[in-house]
Amino acid sequence: MGLLKFVSIIAGIACVSAVLYCFSLADNIDKRFSGRRWSIPSKVFSDLTVLYPGQRINSTFFYEKLRRLGYRQVQHAPMRPGDMKIDESSAELFLHDLIVPSHSRPGFRVRIGLNNGQITSVENLEDGVPVHLLELEPEELMLFYGPEQEQREVVSLERVPQHLIYAVLSAEDRRFYRHYGLDPVGILRAVYLNLRHGAIVAGGSTITQQLAKCYFLTPKRTLSRKLKELFIAITIEAMYAKDEILELYLNEIYFGQKGTVSIHGIAEAASFYFAKPVSELSLAEAAALAGLIKAPNRYSPYASTMRCQQRRNAVLQSMYANNWITTAELQAALTASIQAAGYTVYAKKAPYFIDYLSEQLKTLYSPEVLSTLGLAIYTTLDTQVQMAAEWALERGLARLEKSYPTLHKREADKRLQGAVVVLQPRSGAILALVGGRSYRVSQFNRITQARRQPGSAFKPFVYVNGLDAFTPAALLSNEPRSYAQYGEPWEPQNFAPVDAEQVTLRNALAQSINLPTVDLAMKVGLDRLVSTASAFGFSTPLKPYPSLALGAFEVIPLELARAYCAFAADGVLPYPLSLKDVVDENGTVLERRHMDLERITTPAKAFLMSSLLRSVVTDGTARSLKKRNISFPVAGKTGTTNDYRDAWFVGYTPDILALVWVGFDNGSSIHSSGASAALPIWAELINSIPQYLTGNWFKLPPGVVQKMLCLESGQLFLDKACPKALQEYCLVENAPAEDCSMHRKEGAVKRFFKGINDFFKKF
Amino acid sequence: MIFSKSFKALYLLFIGVLSLSVLCSCSLIPFYRSDRETMLSAREAEPRVVASLQLTDQGRALLEEGNVDAAIRMLERAISLDPQSGENYYYLAEAWLIKANRSQAVECNRLAAMYLRGQSDWMERIVDQQARIEQLER
């Protein structure tokens, strides 16, 4: 009796202690579950992709884009979002849902007619109605991981299909809805099975215990840890409903490894292994995922399809034994093959662009916010243009190294470098940014961080200043002169000999002749040139020295590209945009960036500059573009610096602008000019993004007139007097109004009258 | 003297032919105009322009609904497809006017005026918009 009493007291104390212990745990558990449960990395997205009938496309980049958006090729008509059927003349897609801050639309089936690199038609297959404009969803570019490197998509239990729940319960804890966190029947069963097989073949841990282990404990296997796990599990069961526990579990559980990043949660696993939303998983796929939980890296279809299939079939058999699937369902699922989606180990797409973007994001959000709050960050990047830019740059640099073997350097960090930026001149949207040849080797961004001399690529900013006083037909001096600079004489020279004593302003820019450019800069005034450069957005120090006219002061390549945008956009300088919207998990827009316009010169002068820079392409230093299949109107400018240290080409149309730079980081000579090193890269890039090439040119703005001028004097052309006429654009305010004085005396009418008079005199 | 008179007649004839040729060249202007009209309608039939107009319509609808931020985004996208369409700038100016952003409204209004000049119905609206932007300043 005494013993019984003693045991009862001990048991009572143990029970009270256990309850008290559970209470102490409850507080901790509540804190953990009531706050933010998981860290969700913020995602960075590209811009939308627009498709329309009549649009030309680059088929290679187009299909690559669809693949990257998660469209999978199927042989049957598309039945589920993400299905894609391709034949020779069309691509049928079941579009994913599109959700962006400004609008959304559900996925639907569409047929895109294709012929010879052109979209011939777009048809909505749901109702047969033609579509004038189709938008593809933004592409995921990168995730901001926290130190734990976890990737997880959170899903609510309502969105998880019942067969997936049954599969998980069959695989891990078939009596989940019947126990209280601890399953004695399950433990006994596990003990029996393990004894029978002489090895550990089954575990007795319930789903709740596993959750307790994931959330609160280290993986160490000790008795005290096991006991603690038990108490936590019981407490969780007392505090939460079964469905809540299951939802937590499905979102928490580890599902394998993608490079250094761990995949957590059933939704993330569905997209990692089968590239599908969780709601679309088939029974066989659901069973395969449920089977993975036991040992994700062993049963992963990426590790072994056979092992994955065996484990899946065991789960299916268990589901059948529990009466959760029918014989027919079992048979169909058992024979289904495992078709994993395939993946590429996480690598930053457009890494230099992402770095540039991250710099701006850092001013808005802490790294912790970015790696935990699951923000959606929408950007301006067009991944097709980015692919084209990366491809064209690498090809161009490799070609140069092949042509000039001295440019080929063995050390990775000393190799020939290049950089490309592509902008929409009106909005300033950065469509592509390649800051160097290999991000792995060097993260130095040669578009946004480098300071290089622009050489002749700076000349347009001299000429735009000169337009106030000079027409494109005005004559500039080509005579050698000495200028004072840093207290010393400076005698600029032409790149190639030019015999003429005078050249027209248009020709001087087209042929990139140095002497008349310096002549013009001096006439306009160097102080004015510095203030113009500042208005065009150059932030680096530029001094009022004559050599400034020839681009002897360093600039940041992105600023140079941006400054050219003003010529391509009616004199309006855009702010370079990479970030568009930041949206939180609830869809609230936290940040919005719009195009920001600032007029810095008149539309008339901008038009005139584009016209002058078009001459560079038609008759000047960039005329080799014609040989490179550039047959539509383009304005552009080459640039080459002293000793061939830098090669530049900036080219644009009303729709797109691209800048290419080639050089060595240490300033060694590349022995090539802008026209031979940078221009071919530009041409290859532009030719591979036909969707941006409309063939349009700038409309004549108010303030510009076209005049017939005498080529020799630059004054109004006199028919039959002036030897050569020139059709030229001029600003209204300084268009020549006087007849050619050089040939006036020899005018045709005068000659006619003179002839008559002479004739009469004879009589 | 008779000789000289006949030369004067010849001279007058020459002047006449010259005047006629000038008149003929004047009569070319209407042809040029109709050419321009054809070009304009050709521009409107351009696939990219047609696609851009879809976005313009969506932008305008959003503006009418009062969803100004979304309207701005939509119109910006219309502009990126067709940067030389005046309509987009007009509606964008309207959106910036609602958001009381004077500098952007002014720039967009100017661009609208430039691209839609010569279209009297549009110009009326643009001038009216300009007045409203000026009022905003006050």
DSSP letters along B75-99, please?
HHHHHHH-TT-HHHHHHHHHHHHHT
Fold of the A53-132 domain = Penicillin-binding protein 1b fold (3.30.2060)
The count of CB pairs under 8 A between chains A and B is 83
DSSP string, A330-387: HHHHHHPPP----------SSHHHHHHHHHHHHTTS-HHHHHHB--EEEE---HHHHH
Q: What is the DSSP letter of A675?
A: I
* CA gap B116, B105 in Å, rounded: 16
**Segment (H or E) for A604:** helix A603-618
Alpha carbons within 13 angstroms on the beta-carbon side of residue A341 total 24
CA A426 to chain B, closest CA, distance in angstroms equals 7
* CA gap A595, B77 in Å, rounded: 10
Fold of the A376-452+556-599+610-692 domain = Beta-lactamase (3.40.710)
DSSP string, A514-560: HHHHHHHHHHH-HHHHHHHHHHTT--S-----GGGGGT-S-B-HHHH
* CA gap A193, A196 in Å, rounded: 5
pLDDT of residue A205: 83
Low-confidence ranges of chain A (pLDDT < 70): 1, 35-36, 198-203, 217-222, 344-348, 745-755, 758-763
CB B80 to CB A103 under 8 A?
A: no
CB atoms within 10 A of CB A158: 8
- Residues A378 and A594: beta-carbon distance below 8 Å: no
* CA gap A631, A720 in Å, rounded: 34
pLDDT of residue A547: 94
- Residues of A designated as active site: 172, 456
**Segment (H or E) for A290:** helix A283-292
Angle between helix A207-216 and A162-172 (nearest 10): 80
DSSP string, A687-755: HT-GGG-----PPPPTTEEEEEEETTTSSB--TTTSS-EEEEEEEGGG---SBPTTTSTT-HHHHHHHH
pLDDT of residue A21: 74
CB A55 to CB B48 under 8 A?
A: yes
- CA pseudo-torsion sign A256, A262, A266, A272: negative
pLDDT of residue A218: 66
Q: What is the DSSP letter of A575?
A: P
Q: What is the pLDDT of residues A35-58, one digit of tens each?
A: 667 788 899 999 999 999 999 999
Superfamily name and number for A145-335 = Biosynthetic peptidoglycan transglycosylase-like (1.10.3810.10)
* CA gap A232, A210 in Å, rounded: 10
Residue B43's closest chain A neighbor by CA? A696
Beta strands in A172-322 (DSSP E): 254-258, 261-264
The answer to whether A161 faces chain B, any CB pair under 8 Å, is: no
Distance of CA A589 to the CA centre of its chain: 21
CA B5 to chain A, closest CA, distance in angstroms equals 12
The answer to whether B58 faces chain A, any CB pair under 8 Å, is: yes
* CA gap B46, B66 in Å, rounded: 30
Q: Please, where are the H alpha helices in A472-525?
A: 505-510, 514-524
In this predicted structure, the answer to whether residue B3 has a pLDDT above a threshold of 60 is no
pLDDT of residue B124: 95
pLDDT of residue A219: 64
User: A546-561: b or e for each residue (b if 16 or more CB lie within 10 Å)?
Assistant: bbbbbbbbbbbbbbbb
CB A101 to CB B79 under 8 A?
A: no
Tell which B residues from 114 to 133 touch A, by Cβ distance under 8 Å: 114-115, 117
3-state helix, strand, coil in chain A (%, to 5): 40, 20, 40
- Kindly state the tokens that stand for A269: 């696993």
Tell which A residues from 6 to 35 touch B, by Cβ distance under 8 Å: none
Average per-residue pLDDT for chain B: 78
* CA gap A37, A215 in Å, rounded: 10
CA B52 to chain A, closest CA, distance in angstroms equals 8
* CA gap A138, A685 in Å, rounded: 22
pLDDT of residue A415: 95
Q: What is the pLDDT of residues B50-106, one digit of tens each?
A: 899 999 999 999 999 999 999 999 999 999 999 999 999 999 999 999 999 999 999
In this predicted structure, the answer to whether residue B28 has a pLDDT above a threshold of 60 is no
End-to-end CA, chain B: 79
Closest of A540, A145, A149, A554 to residue A354, by C-alpha: A145
**A442, amino acid identity:** S
pLDDT of residue A185: 78
Specify the CATH number for A455-553; select among 3.30.1340.30, 3.40.710.10, 3.40.50.960, 3.40.50.720.
Answer: 3.40.710.10
CB B115 to CB A699 under 8 A?
A: yes
The answer to whether B54 faces chain A, any CB pair under 8 Å, is: yes
Closest of A461, A414, A444 to residue A663, by C-alpha: A414
DSSP string, chain B: -HHHHHHHHHHHHHHHHHHHHHHHHHTHHHHHHHHHHHHHHHHHTSHHHHHHHHHHHHHHHHHHHT-HHHHHHHHHHHHHH-TT-HHHHHHHHHHHHHTT-HHHHHHHHHHHHHHTTT-HHHHHHHHHHHHHHHHHH-
CB B50 to CB A426 under 8 A?
A: no
CA A608 to chain B, closest CA, distance in angstroms equals 16
Distance set, CA A227 to CA A232, A294, A553 (Å): 9, 21, 72
Q: What is the DSSP letter of A227?
A: H
pLDDT of residue A152: 82
- CA pseudo-torsion sign A348, A350, A356, A358: negative
CB B51 to CB A133 under 8 A?
A: yes
DSSP string, A295-306: SHHHH-TTT-HH
CB B84 to CB A597 under 8 A?
A: no
**A contact test, residue of B73, B88, B102, B123 with most A CBs within 10 A:** B73
- Residues A558 and A447: beta-carbon distance below 8 Å: yes
Q: Which residues of B touch A48 (CB under 8 A)?
A: 77
CA B31 to chain A, closest CA, distance in angstroms equals 19
pLDDT of residue B9: 57
Distance of CA A152 to the CA centre of its chain: 23
- Kindly state the tokens that stand for A615: 């001459």
